[in-house]
Amino acid sequence: MKLRIVSLSLLGILLYACSPKVVPVVTDVKAPLTSPPTPSLLSAELAEGKNLFENNCAKCHELYDTKQFSAKEWSPILYRMQKEAGISDTDREKIYSYVTAKL
């Protein structure tokens, strides 16, 4: 009986740990910006960079406003986060293009 309870508990913990993390949507105006405002028309590369930025970075932390850092400041941030998130060099460059774009 104890073996069944322990097994079910471990199975529940494993399922919870492997489940996708849901990022809550903030609707409060005073709350920090969760995704940078962008014009509705983006180039294909910038749109892909925006998508990569939002889907990879928001898994672990709140998204930063793209204007919060300069292009020079974004470079080491993205290199460091590339290792953390397992992002390819190509995807990192697309994200860099997006976050440094003057939108």
Other Cβ atoms closer than 10 A to 70: 9
Q: Which long-range contacts (CB under 8 A, 24 or more apart) does 19-22 make?
A: 21/59
What does pTM read for this prediction? 0.57
- At 53-96, the pLDDT tens digits run 888 888 888 888 888 888 889 889 888 888 888 889 999 998 88
pLDDT score for 26:
55
pLDDT, tens digit, 9 for 90 and up, residues 35-56: 555 555 678 888 888 888 888 8
